[in-house]
Structure 1
């Protein structure tokens, strides 16, 4: 466990940050599961809350929620919430467990996740700046595709239709370029009434009923649009692009703050991982030293041998040395007088 001031601060920061995202993503997942499995109960509860004023909301917000409260729109919203909540839940869970449990593997994995996210953001920003005109054409093509394949009119609109209706009503525009975009929309042509040329959101709406209802002031707008009763010649793409440029500074500040927060999380995760590795090495070293000291204490001294050998000054015969037997004293012969000299003759 880290005990220094710096690693302890990084641990607290990562734990708190990921706990906030973990709690938020859990709420998003629960809401997405509820909408996906029991959207009827959600619709009923929302309707009762708005009618009985159990939840005090502004009038425009309440009307907007009432308009969005449609089965198909809620089902598509549930898919988006599940995807977003699942991804944020996974990343935040890895970061929270890695910081709280001081797991080097989870901290490194968390850093890799954030690195991929930051790399994707920088890549998209770079592509947008380098290939601005190509991005504009691709964006226009994507918007037209959403109109041609998903936009419909009727009592139960989907999420794409609701989004387009609110954009056209708020920005007072019609289609991507103009109303002719709806003439190529297969889903619009299948769900429109006879001789209808454009959706009601392209008309000048009755302000007493909008939001949430899209009721044109002139009933002839749907079949005979003019510049006096509709915005059929004004495209939404240019107005959207102008609005984005007008609010570019807040968008850039938000992106910079988000990237800065992600970079801080990566740096803190790597620093905490390094501190955990250092503490583990110190603990292993101390454990080895304790084991060595313990072994030295438990080892008994060698027993003292009783000296049975004779003193050093007594010489010991060697086993390999053989001694000659001691000769006995010679016998003493009786004294014999020396021989006399014989004289032979004179």
Structure 2
């Protein structure tokens, strides 16, 4: 066995153990997101309390509460994606570790082919995210706009309603593009949860109101044509800040400093794994192994 191949096997084992641990973290994190509502709730408790207090004050409804709100349902799709990715990464990492430990050249080749496909896919995805973000933002925006059809307003307790209320307060935004997305969509007006005459949902307010007059001041009056409503409430409302851009900025742009080193490490590690896996396969004539 060549010295380089021996070193390669060690590198393969070490890096794949790291990826196995990473995959386990993804799987555990996914299960926590999916089923650990009580674990996650304290992280969003302050926002939920603000929404609950505002609803009780504005509508004099002391019975309204969000105790039964299931945050896990809101991130269910993300949780499932994390679990699936985790198991896929676990399988690939185990394959690479096993092929290196047992020096099975055929498995090393299969592992290298899988990694090459994954590596190219990741490169394309990264290029699209950073060079052509509108490709993803357009899809995200479309999904957000469609979900407004199920929006019930400040006192809505459905997953969609609570998701919007939380997002608009957490990210200081209103609608997917702006407040106009809510016009003639959802039941937030017809069910009188936010008031028939409001221009925007109450949670578009920068600070949630404590009474009816405060709600009118920041949510506007869509029926009053005596003045420019949007200009009147702009200082009190996030009505022109779209949640699509706010989410993208918070999740992608503002996290670049954290993402880029991780991306560089993962891509560099994968390149090393591909090279050493191919070396193990090429060395099969010296060391034997399955062909």
The two structures have a TM-score, normalised by structure 2, of 0.66
Partner of 2:109: 108
Q: Structure 1, residues 8-56: CA drift from partner, whole Å, max 9, x if none?
A: 22212211221222233234335545765xx3xx435667xx6xxxxxx
Q: Is the 8 A contact 2:99 2:108 kept in 1?
A: yes
Q: Is the 8 A contact 1:14 1:95 kept in 2?
A: yes
How far is the alpha carbon of 1:236 from its aligned partner? 4.0
Q: Structure 1, residues 249-269: CA drift from partner, whole Å, max 9, x if none?
A: 664444333322211111111
Distance 2:166 2:94 in 1: 36
Q: Is the 8 A contact 2:178 2:239 kept in 1?
A: yes
Tell me: higher relative CO, structure 1 or 2? Use CA pairs within 8 A at least 6 residues apart.
Answer: 2
Partner of 1:172: 172
Match of 2:159, SS state, is coil
Q: Where in structure 2 are the equivalents of 1:70-219 lying within 5 Å?
A: 70-73=71-74, 75-126=76-127, 132=132, 136=134, 139-149=137-147, 152=151, 154-158=156-160, 162=163, 168-183=168-183, 185-186=185-186, 193=193, 194-195=195-196, 197-205=199-207, 215-216=208-209, 218-219=214-215
Distance 1:116 1:65 in 2: 43
Match of 1:267, SS state, is helix
Match of 2:283, SS state, is helix
Structure 2 residues not aligned, in runs of 5+: 50-65, 222-229
**1:121–1:30 Cα change, 3 Å:** closer
**1:179–1:110 Cα change, 3 Å:** same
Q: Is the 8 A contact 1:176 1:235 kept in 2?
A: yes
1:19 is aligned, of 14, 17, 20, to 17
Match of 2:183, SS state, is helix
1:234 is aligned, of 234, 238, 241, to 241
Partner of 2:277: 269
Moved more, 216-225 or 230-239: 216-225
Distance 1:203 1:32 in 2: 33
Q: Structure 1, residues 111-139: CA drift from partner, whole Å, max 9, x if none?
A: 11221122113333555677x4xx52662
Aligned residues: 250
**1:203–1:34 Cα change, 3 Å:** closer
Q: Where in structure 2 are the equivalents of 1:21-36 lying within 5 Å?
A: 21-30=19-28, 32=30
Q: Structure 1, residues 207-239: CA drift from partner, whole Å, max 9, x if none?
A: xxxxxxxx4453334464721321112334555
How far is the alpha carbon of 1:241 from its aligned partner? 6.4
How far is the alpha carbon of 1:6 from its aligned partner? 2.5
Relative to total residues, which structure has the larger helix share, 1 or 2? 2
Q: Structure 1, residues 167-190: CA drift from partner, whole Å, max 9, x if none?
A: 543543322321111236548678
**1:239–1:26 Cα change, 3 Å:** closer
Structure showing greater radius of gyration is: 1
Distance 1:108 1:34 in 2: 35
Structure 1 residues not aligned, in runs of 5+: 51-59, 206-214, 282-346
Partner of 1:43: 37
